[in-house]
Amino acid sequence: MKKTVTTLADGRELIYYDAGDDAVRDAVDARPLDPVTSASEVRYDALLGDSVVIASHRQTRTHLPPADECPLCPSRDGRQSEIPSDDYEVVVFENRFPSLSEHAGRCEVVCFTSDHDASFADLTPERAALVLDAWTDRTAELAERDGVEQVYCFENRGAEIGVTLGHPHGQVYAFPFTTPRTALMQRQVAEHHARTGGNLFDDLVDRERADGARVVLEDEHWIAFVPYAAHWPYEVHLYPTRRVPDLRALDDAARTEFPQTYLELLKRFDRIFGPDEPPTPYIAAWHQAPFTDERREEFALHLELFTVRRAVGKLKYLAGTESGMGAFMNDVPPEAAAERLREVATK
């Protein structure tokens, strides 16, 4: 992998990731851009014990532009975008409308391909491996920044999810705090260890493997299953079979196998509701151990993939019990979801 670091016209960092060492990335961003200003603020909620980011400046961010004005496409035919080059493989750059300001974390955009009409599932295994390299590199670099507690790599796909740019891309957030969901996992892991002496993540994976009813696929180095208490209609958790705390710790064997496994999962997601339905909207979220956790080696890196579509033409909206009280109600039994995801296998 070759990594080329440059800056955009307003001073934001942009990084090209190329599979070959011969790639030349010397295009210059000539746009007349003012420096990025943001006023995000992290506020602590004393009642719930978590943090909320206030980011009012994001109200003016780009929202669903036409394809010929996409800011994530390459710069071509006299039209300048966020990427100065006329083509690229994988690109990461600082978000122009960050939820987290420079003094309170960092927000980055990850473009998976220059093809506006593609999706992650359309990538070759080689390109998916390059994206994994980019995620890992960003985790490693952001981990060294002062004040960063956790790095979150994720993809939102589909207008139903709230995506404001149709180009295939994801994001990386470097949080100055441990996210509430991760804090809950840490608490459960600690309580499980105190009660049983075992590791909660290991025991959960072992239970799903032994039961088998909710296992979607298993390769030598990865296992994917619908969790026993799935919150979403179709939800899959993907774990490396050797527990590691974050992307940096994956061994070569797991890294090599990941593209085929993950691409297969994404292709199955697009088959859930039948061939005549539009692509399945989803969120794909990497869960990594916070850097400040003294027991971070007990945390298990994993990816959670889920969709808000519950049936053909129907979405799962968070009801009053879910939005108001955090008590989820799932219409699709996890065993039925797993069976459907096995039925639509492409292998």
Q: Please list the active-site residues.
A: 169
Q: Side chain identity at 313, as an amino acid letter?
A: G
* DSSP assignment of 274-292: -TTSPPPPEEEEEE---TT
Secondary structure of residue 211 in the 3-state scheme: helix
Q: Quickly list H helices, 125-251.
A: 125-142, 180-196, 200-211
Across the strands, what pairs with 330?
A: none
* DSSP assignment of 297-344: GGS--EEEEEESEEETTEE----HHHHHH-----SS-HHHHHHHHHHT
Task: State how far the Cα of 101 lies from the Cα of 37, in Å rounded to an integer.
Answer: 8
Supply 11's token pair. 């001073």
Closest Cα partner for 137 from 277, 25, 220, 13?
13
Contact of 185 with 223, CB cutoff 8 Å: no
Closest Cα partner for 168 from 85, 72, 66, 74?
72
Task: State how far the Cα of 338 lies from the Cα of 225, in Å rounded to an integer.
Answer: 7
